Amino acid sequence: MNNKTLVDSLITILGKDRVLTQNADLDRYSTDALTPFRSFGITHLFDQLADVVVIPQTVDHILEIVKIANESHTPIIPYGSGTGVMGAVMPLKSGIILDTRNLNSIININTQDRTATVESGLIIESLDIELEKYSFSAGHDPYSHPIATIGGAISTNGVGYKAGSYGSMGEQVVSIEAVLPSGKLITTKSVPKYSSGPNFNHLFIGTEGVFGIITKATIKIFPIPESRIFSTWAFNSFEDGFMACSKLHALGIRPTLMDLTQENDTTLLYLLHEGYVEGVYAQKTRTDSILPDFGGRNIGTTKTEEYWNKRHDSALNYKKQALAQTRTVKWNRSSNRLFDYLHICLPISKVLEYKQECETILASSNFKVVEYAIWSRPEMFSLMIEPKQSQSSASKEELSVIVEKILRLAQNFGGIMEYCHGPGTKLNHLVQEDMGSAHDTLKILKSSIDPNNIMNPSKLGL
Ligand SMILES: Cc1cc2nc3c(=O)[nH]c(=O)nc-3n(C[C@H](O)[C@H](O)[C@H](O)COP(=O)(O)OP(=O)(O)OC[C@H]3O[C@@H](n4cnc5c(N)ncnc54)[C@H](O)[C@@H]3O)c2cc1C
């Protein structure tokens, strides 16, 4: 099907206003928050634009669009808010970008089942605003809470500030409705446990839209806790703080927020315990007795409260300066800043040895780690890398080599290269190694569910 015929048939389904073909529109939809400054060997892929953007209003629209895409073998890329930081929405083979923003209804809030059923284009913050009326909240609370959609968060299996007790976005999914590439609608049951066959929710959790378009999801919701206690602890080293966090976890203590951060020589642990009164009291009392054994000093509540209150600021700035803007606007915002942040998941027993090896890799380079962190659980380890001196002495090529070494090191340590944002386009070339032999099975699944390879082709190393 040529482009004109494709566009004409999409207009027949959606009307003219919901089919965008202007260059400026194709430009702003063909990237997310990944910039060329953090993208290393894939800069040329930013040249690829979608052929057309569609903004369906209903699931029936999506069924019809997918049917056309499948018959004409046209790639189709689901698009939430485009806030992903790895280039997962980049149309590597052109095609149709499908903006889900108008599928944004809250279909049902069930406080007895403790679930909300929503359309996939709903912004997470909008759900929370509604849930507040019922004294409930969503468990997923990323920095990007005011701008990211439920469908995008499920497809990247994102992690947020409350993941310590509520888990990642994927862990909160109860059921999913999705349009498969064949044009069939699949719906899973809203129950928390399966033993008669696999749980098909996982076909869509953390899979970047390669198996279909999520149209609805039922996700867990949580009563506003009776009690909340913030605290901040200072440690003599990241290593001491890490051992303290591991001890809390081993005992079964799950602070809602557990963020251990080392910046320069300062290591702080930000904690939030919440839940029913007696439970919070018990967890907090035991925490207070454990942390000093590792040199922890309680320095009050203020720093964690401030940190908590500012947690969505970066997304609010992003909304103001870059969301839905052209690439030039998005890219100027990062003003050539040379840096990268990595989110690695490792067995607990490997984290400190891994950190040491990262130091060794960086020692002879022009780069240093400016922040190490543990987020939510001891296995989830992050680092932010910047030039040691002035930016001019360090190059993007060198940073690229270092990042790749650090990610491959995680794989060699039995870990994975990214626990939070998905591989997207940026880390696509490393997915096969990350998944090991399971990647062959993923390929078989992909070719049987999507024989014409229309759903977000070339992502997840497929
Ligand atoms: C300032 C800022 C802060 C951030 N903070 C965090 C954070 O704390 N934690 C975190 O995890 N991430 C964070 N992110 C990254 C980003 O917000 C998340 O990855 C988010 O989940 C993406 O949501 P989105 O709606 O923008 O999805 P998009 O970027 O539009 O899409 C992401 C992926 O999901 C697929 N997709 C989208 N909708 C659907 C659907 N309905 N069906 C199937 N596939 C779909 C897309 O094809 C793509 O592969 C941050 C980003 C920014 C800019």
Reduced 3-state DSSP string for 136-195: EEECCCCCCCCCCEHHHHHHHCCCCCCHHHHCCCHHHEEEEEEECCCCCEEECCCCCCCC
- Residue 401: inside a domain: yes
Nearest Cα to Cα of residue 338 among 46, 39, 30: 39
Enclosing domain of residue 266: 227-300
| Boundary-marking domain end, from 101, 121, 155 | 101
Ligand 1, atom 21, residue with closest C-alpha: 153
- Residue 456: inside a domain: no
| Boundary-marking domain end, from 44, 66, 101 | 101
Q: How many angstroms is it from 297 CA to the middle of ligand 1?
A: 36
114 shares a domain with 91: no
Q: Is 149 in the pocket of ligand 1 (CB under 6 A)?
A: yes
- Residue 446: inside a domain: no
124 shares a domain with 41: no
H/E stretch holding 98 reads strand 96-99
**pLDDT tens-digit profile of 136-158?**
999 999 999 999 999 999 999 99
pLDDT at site 23 = 96
Q: Is 421 in the pocket of ligand 1 (CB under 6 A)?
A: yes
Q: Residue 402: which CATH number?
A: 3.30.70.2740
Q: Is 77 in the pocket of ligand 1 (CB under 6 A)?
A: yes
pLDDT at site 391 = 60
pLDDT at site 336 = 72
CA pair distance 104, 188, nearest whole angstrom? 20
256 shares a domain with 214: no
For the chain, helix (H) and strand (E) counts, in that order, are 15, 17
pLDDT at site 79 = 98
Nearest Cα to Cα of residue 180 among 253, 76, 252, 271: 76
pLDDT at site 337 = 81
- Residue 432: inside a domain: no
Quickly list H helices, 299-346. Answer: 302-309, 313-321, 327-333
Shortest-distance atom of ligand 1 to CA 315: 1
Using most ligand atoms within 8 A of CB, pick from 38, 63, 65, 79 the residue to mutate for ligand 1.
79
126 shares a domain with 93: no
CA quadruple 91, 93, 96, 100: dihedral, nearest 10: -30
**pLDDT tens-digit profile of 84-103?**
999 999 999 999 999 999 99
200 shares a domain with 188: yes
Q: Are 212 and 455 in contact (CB under 8 A)?
A: yes
Q: How many angstroms is it from 160 CA to the middle of ligand 1?
A: 12
| Boundary-marking domain end, from 67, 101, 135 | 101
Q: Residue 93: which CATH number?
A: 3.30.43.10
367 shares a domain with 267: no
234 shares a domain with 190: no
Q: Are 69 and 95 in contact (CB under 8 A)?
A: yes
212 shares a domain with 114: yes
Residue found under tokens 């989830």:
380
Q: Residue 248: which CATH number?
A: 3.30.70.3450
Q: How many CB atoms lie within 10 A of CB 161?
A: 23
The pTM for the full model equals: 0.98
Non-local CB neighbours of 102 within 8 Å, separated by 6+ positions:
55, 56, 57, 121
Shortest-distance atom of ligand 1 to CA 323: 53
201 shares a domain with 110: yes
126 shares a domain with 69: no
- Residue 459: inside a domain: no
Nearest Cα to Cα of residue 190 among 107, 116, 100: 116
Q: Are 91 and 48 in contact (CB under 8 A)?
A: yes
Helix, strand, coil shares, percent, the chain, to 5:
40, 25, 35
Q: Is 428 in the pocket of ligand 1 (CB under 6 A)?
A: no
Tokens representing 47 are: 């040249």
Ranges of the chain whose pLDDT falls below 50 = none
Nearest Cα to Cα of residue 217 among 107, 135, 139, 142: 107
- Residue 454: inside a domain: no
Shortest-distance atom of ligand 1 to CA 32: 29
Ligand 1, atom 31, residue with closest C-alpha: 152
Q: What is the DSSP string of 355-382?
A: HHHHHHHHHTSSEEEEEEEEESSTTEEE
Phi and psi at 251, nearest 5°, equal -80, -10
Shortest-distance atom of ligand 1 to CA 33: 53
Non-local CB neighbours of 335 within 8 Å, separated by 6+ positions:
none
The sheet carrying 96-99 orders its strands as 19-20, 52-54, 96-99, 76-79
Question: Domain total for the chain?
Answer: 4
- Residue 290: inside a domain: yes
Amino acid at 39: S
Phi and psi at 418, nearest 5°, equal -155, 120
Q: Is 152 in the pocket of ligand 1 (CB under 6 A)?
A: yes
379 shares a domain with 344: yes
CA pair distance 42, 37, nearest whole angstrom? 10
Q: Residue 127: which CATH number?
A: 3.30.465.10
172 shares a domain with 216: yes
Q: How many angstroms is it from 394 CA to the middle of ligand 1?
A: 30
- Residue 262: inside a domain: yes
